């Protein structure tokens, strides 16, 4: 496996099964000798976790939501992601900037020009080396979420919202196909896990 610093992100609508596969990916990378920084967004630092709680639970307008998410991301980049990459680690993150283009852009309708500006300010050009997009039909995702947990402010949205979020991910993947790998998250757990391993192997990880 390559020992250079690597930034890998996991994306998808709520209920797509990201967390299950994220843990397995971290274990495989560690078994292969990598030092893994496992993190999430919004969150990853004390400040960002406080902002996450606000975003998930307090009502606010779409632009305020985007501003808070990118503020959390800025703190996360400066205090977790960049230092880990400088140490030569593999950063494995549950969501990054693509989520804002899907949720705040596709779902909430925040203009892409505003999101592009926020991304440039908060991330300063940092992009993942690989993004695994767990693509799932919103109806199935809603059924999974209902079985798993009580809904937060995002998870309580209707199917039309998640259709827009899914379309936002699709647009982002189409714009940056070199780093995106789409995975059909509607398949069995074992089948999806095998697809993840295949993508990682193709990239030398």
Residues belonging to the binding site are: 12-19
Which letter does DSSP use for residue 89 in this model? P
Which candidate, 144, 66, 76, places its Cα nearest to that of 102?
66
Determine contact, residues 60/104, Cβ cutoff 8 Å. Answer: no
Q: What is the CB neighbour count within 10 angstroms for residue 12? A: 26
Cα dihedral value 83, 17, 133, 104, nearest 10: -80
Residues of each annotated binding site for ATP: 12-19
Coil, helix or strand at residue 93: strand
How many residues make up the chain in this entry? 205
Coil, helix or strand at residue 4: coil
Strands 36-40 and 6-11: unpaired
């Amino acid at each position: 496996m390559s020992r250079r610093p690597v930034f890998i992100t996991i994306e998808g609508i709520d209920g797509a099964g990201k967390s299950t596969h994220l843990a397995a990916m971290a274990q495989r990378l560690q078994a292969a000798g990598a030092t893994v920084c496992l993190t999430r967004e919004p969150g990853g630092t004390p400040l960002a976790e406080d902002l996450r709680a606000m975003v998930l639970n307090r009502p606010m307008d779409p632009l305020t939501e985007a501003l808070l998410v990118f503020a959390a991301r800025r703190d996360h980049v400066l205090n977790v992601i960049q230092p880990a990459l400088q140490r030569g680690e593999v950063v494995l993150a549950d969501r990054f900037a693509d989520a804002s283009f899907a949720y705040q852009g596709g779902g909430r309708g925040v203009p892409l020009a505003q999101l592009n500006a926020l991304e440039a300010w908060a991330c300063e050009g940092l992009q993942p080396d690989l993004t695994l997009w767990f693509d799932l039909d919103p109806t199935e995702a809603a059924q999974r979420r209902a079985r798993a947990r009580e809904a937060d402010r995002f998870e309580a949205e209707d199917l039309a919202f998640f259709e827009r979020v899914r379309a936002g991910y699709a647009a982002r993947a189409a714009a940056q196909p070199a780093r995106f790998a789409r995975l059909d998250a509607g398949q069995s757990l074992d089948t999806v896990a095998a697809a993840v391993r295949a993508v990682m192997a193709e990239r030398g990880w």
